[in-house]
Structure 1
């Protein structure tokens, strides 16, 4: 067998050595995979992130007791987690069965029969009388694992078990992100609905003024109709946000293993999008690859594939075992007597001379290991790509949010100036209402930016592999 280069140093830190096989150097050994994130420099300078490692339960960073409770309840009752846990239980049983090959095999038997034996089988010419015969025996056998077949089959089973365990981690990572997304959607929809209701109230005042002016002959019917249209447009936004919030509540119920009618009431009243109080901790590439469960899963699949090369190679060599047996065979009345007792001890070598088929199985196992290494490399590169992409999106949306906040502040200032002019009698009421409507529109844009930024944060937490 070829040998997997000693690299994989990062995974060795996590206690997961890879069985020998592949000559190609794994991507994870490249120093570029373990350094600081490229997209993190600008964010760190602006205080958006820190180089601290991501905590296990990242949602605590929001300091939101409701979100904390939702996450814990989902992690305790989610259906996908139950399925993954059942798969792990099965994988552990398979590992135990493989480890059982190291133990000796025991067998015992006891039988009684009424029979007449063939006289000629004992070189007798006369028949043998009918008799009651009995037999009792016990045996022990043990296979000596000279060529590592049992050892490597156990390694393969354990690797599969650990890969399944990593699957549970992957489910938890996704679940934590899904719960946070649903909660953020609820909070954002409720906050947006409140803004829409406020805007609807203002537009109602504007419509009433337009109707009064039209009744006084100071404006046309066209202005009234336009005001009515704007009012109905704003009124249509309220049920949209209600539906968005309710759908997210039902999503939370599903994630928590509940029926829709049992959605968490504690999340229903949230009307402020959760925000981080400190820079988002991201660590570096080395910490990312140690933490992400899909990387661990792919590495364990590679370990299992390389172990199966050892199993296939061991099949080319003889199987060596030893055995011990003893018992009694004869007339039932004589069982246990010296004349009926027997015993034996010895060894057994069984060898199926390997042909082209057996050697082809070794090559096939090697090809499987090569494919597993390629998948492992792909998962590593994918984890880095996802993280850099999430960091870039977060950085760009933070810059966008800064500009939108500046626009909202300018709109607030304009609305305040219009209000003062109206109080001084230097501006009509509609101008005052228009200024306030402009400020509300700017606030709606800011809210959309804040919600998008919160979702970016969750996407980044997901890419970083946090929450398990």
Structure 2
């Protein structure tokens, strides 16, 4: 009755302090989005190659596999804590059979055996707090796997998007090269007719050679992103390179996404949940340190049989940690400080999560506007170039004006492609900032 009446000392890890968050994001709506961890948001790109790579990589990524091992380690720690009012602190059994004899005595055998066990009663809930701490550590490890998964998704999508952009840049540059080769041919024909000069030829050749020099740079950047993907996906680079070179368009910019309200982040962001469980574990450690300062009650017993003589002992023992109170008090003070630090870390993670969403949301909105403006500019430069080319071939426009229109068109097209790539990647960043995709461990066929 005395044992069961005692409550666990120290703060209760399940009674976590509240943290306040703003009612809505600065540029967002006020409606909640619910639980989004299971959303395979990358399907919004409608890119089959990307979806296949992510589906396979979720099971082969070394980063994710390593994070899963941390869950197994935390599960073993949790299994090692016994949810009992009385814990076994030591049990052993031994047996021996010894032959002895001499000149003046007969040879014989002597048998010895013993069995002992000890129990310590969890008077002040120290063992209970230890189990609560191990449980919180396990939950934190599970959340950290999701943190790793989101970080991995961000890197995969960025590498894939950049690879596709460099492919698009290669295609645009090759189109520019063909157009400039045509301009050079026309200029040479005009030179033969006395309508152009060697200076005109040199200018046209220089512009063509500049475009040709850009090709190796885009190829190197494409290869680097594919090699990065091979590492992230734990795949051989050769087959992956062939698959990527087969071609696919640049990532589209899907609509949305909805961001919900800041309160959604408390359950959807795995880093916030991991920090919360770290706080629970730290509070449990305070309880363990407090219980260590208080008396402990243990019960031990031994049964032995030595050479035919049987015996037993049984009884309780009350231990008072008197001499080590200074060290134990210092340990408890340290655990209190660690708990306060864990509380601050949790609050900081919530603030950082809100910042991530608001920053990505703002970036995506402005990038969409930039894409629209640059697409319009690229269309206008395309039209200007076509007009300049027609007028040049008719002899109504100087070569220098055609070359200038060519440069502006090439630059505008690459800028528009780069802006679309940035917006597509930022769309994923906003999804990840809300915690979407964190709970997708594998994708069914």
Under TM normalisation by the shorter chain, which class is it?
0.7 to 0.9
Deviations 1:186-218 (A, max 9, x none): 211111111110111111111122222233322
**Is the 1:143–1:322 Cα contact (8 Å) retained in structure 2?**
yes
Partners in 2 of 1:225 and 1:419 — Cα distance?
18
Partners in 1 of 2:182 and 2:386 — Cα distance?
18
Matches within 5 A, 1:33-432: 35-40=23-28, 52=33, 54=36, 56-99=39-82, 103-104=87-88, 105-113=90-98, 132-263=109-240, 265-330=242-307, 335=308, 340-353=309-322, 355-415=325-385, 427=396
Give how far 1:408 is off. Answer: 2.4
1:110–1:307 Cα change, 3 Å = same
What is the SS of the residue equivalent to 2:97? strand
**Is the 1:186–1:270 Cα contact (8 Å) retained in structure 2?**
no
Give how far 1:258 is off. Answer: 2.7
Partners in 2 of 1:87 and 1:100 — Cα distance?
22
Return the structure number with greater relative CO, CA threshold 8 A, min gap 6: 2
Give how far 1:178 is off. Answer: 1.1
> Could you state the TM-score of these two structures normalised by the residue count of structure 2?
0.85
Structure 1 stretch 168-177 or stretch 282-291: which is displaced more? Answer: 282-291
**Is the 2:257–2:431 Cα contact (8 Å) retained in structure 1?**
no
Partners in 2 of 1:311 and 1:162 — Cα distance?
19
Deviations 1:296-333 (A, max 9, x none): 21111111111110111001111112234323233xxx
Partners in 2 of 1:212 and 1:419 — Cα distance?
15
1:457 maps onto 2:442 in alignment:
no
**Is the 2:299–2:317 Cα contact (8 Å) retained in structure 1?**
yes
Unpaired runs of 5+ residues, structure 2, are 1-8, 439-445
1:224–1:212 Cα change, 3 Å = same
Give how far 1:265 is off. Answer: 3.3
Give how far 1:130 is off. Answer: 9.2
**Is the 2:204–2:403 Cα contact (8 Å) retained in structure 1?**
no
Deviations 1:117-139 (A, max 9, x none): xxxxxxxxxxx999754322223
Aligned residues: 422
Give how far 1:110 is off. Answer: 1.6
Instruction: Give the aligned CA root-mean-square deviation in angstroms.
Output: 3.1
Partners in 1 of 2:389 and 2:203 — Cα distance?
23
Give how far 1:397 is off. Answer: 1.2
Give how far 1:147 is off. Answer: 0.8
Partners in 1 of 2:288 and 2:224 — Cα distance?
52
Partners in 2 of 1:371 and 1:186 — Cα distance?
42
Structure 1 stretch 56-65 or stretch 230-239: which is displaced more? Answer: 56-65
Partners in 2 of 1:264 and 1:231 — Cα distance?
28
Structure 1 stretch 195-204 or stretch 133-142: which is displaced more? Answer: 133-142
Give how far 1:434 is off. Answer: 7.1
Partners in 2 of 1:51 and 1:131 — Cα distance?
84
1:266–1:260 Cα change, 3 Å = closer
Structure 1 stretch 407-416 or stretch 290-299: which is displaced more? Answer: 407-416
Give how far 1:412 is off. Answer: 3.9
Give how far 1:52 is off. Answer: 4.1
